[in-house]
Amino acid sequence: MKRPLHVLVAAVCAILLLSGQGAGQGLPYSLFERYLEALRQQSGIPGISAGIFSDGRIEWERGFGHANLDGAVPATPDTPYPVGGLTQITSAVLLGLCSERGALSIDDPMRQWVGDFPIPSATVRTVLAHADGSPTSARFEYDAVRYAALTPVAQECSDDPFRVVVADDILNRLGMSRSVPGADLADPANSARDLFVAADLRRYQSVLDHLAVPYP
C-alpha cells in the first residue's frame, strides 16, 4: 500500500536529523519544525505534538497549533490526544502477553472465548488480522466491531478487568503517566472509577483536563 508522500518525507527528515547526531553539530531542527508546521496547515490539522528520541533521550520535542481551537489553547509536547482506533494496538499487545504466558493460542477459535461470535471459523489470529475468517481465504475485511470482541478474550487471561490490565501491563509498565485507560473515567457516575484508587483517579483527571479536543 502506498503511503502519502508527506508522511515519507517526514520520516526521512527525522532519520536524517538523527543520523547527523554524531557529527557534533547542531541538528537542523528548525527546518524540520517548519516542515511539520507547513504540513499541519496544509492538512488542516488543528494540533500536533512531536518528538525525536535517540538512545533513550529526548533530543527534540515541540507542539504545533492548538489543542483546543475554541479556547486557543496551544498544543505542547505533553498534550494528550484521544487515540481512537489505536486502542486496537493495546488489545493486540495484551493478547501477545497472554500467548507468551500460555494462557491462550492465537489459533484458538473465537467461539472458544466468545460463544456467540458470528463467524464459526474465525480464530483469534484472523480477527487480529482483520481477516474475514474464511477457512479458504484470508481476505482483509476491516471491522472494528468484530475486533472489539477480542476485549473479553484478553480479559480472560487475567483475574482483573480489562481497564485494570491495560493500566498495569501497558501504561504503568511503560511509564506512560500521561495516558488514561478510558476518557470516560472523567465521568463521576462511571462505575469503572471504582476499579482504581483515588491517587490514580486524580492523575487521570489531571491528564483529561488537558485532553486535546477532537475535531470533525
Write the pLDDT tens digit of every residue in 157-176. 888 888 999 999 999 999 99
Indicate the range of 12-21, 56-65, 93-102, 115-124 predicted with least confidence: 12-21
**For residue 137, what pLDDT is reported?**
65
CA distances for 188 relative to 82, 138, 195, 204, angstroms: 19, 44, 13, 12
Distance of CA 209 to the CA centre of its chain: 19
Which pLDDT score is estimated for 11? Answer: 45
What proportion of the chain, given as a percentage, has pLDDT over 90?
52
Condensed to tens digits (0 to 9), the pLDDT of residues 110-127 reads 999 899 999 888 999 999
Q: Which residues contact 108 (CB under 8 A, 6 or more apart)?
A: 123, 124
Angle at alpha carbon of residue 201, lines to 186 and 214, rounded to 5°: 35
Question: Do residues 48 and 75 make contact, with C-beta atoms less than 8 angstroms apart?
Answer: yes
* Confidence at 80, pLDDT banded by 50, 70, 90: very high
Average pLDDT value for residue range 72-89: 88
Residue 216 has pLDDT above 80, yes or no: no
Cell of 107: 489459533
Residue 61 pLDDT more than 90? yes
The C-alpha cell at 110 is 473465537
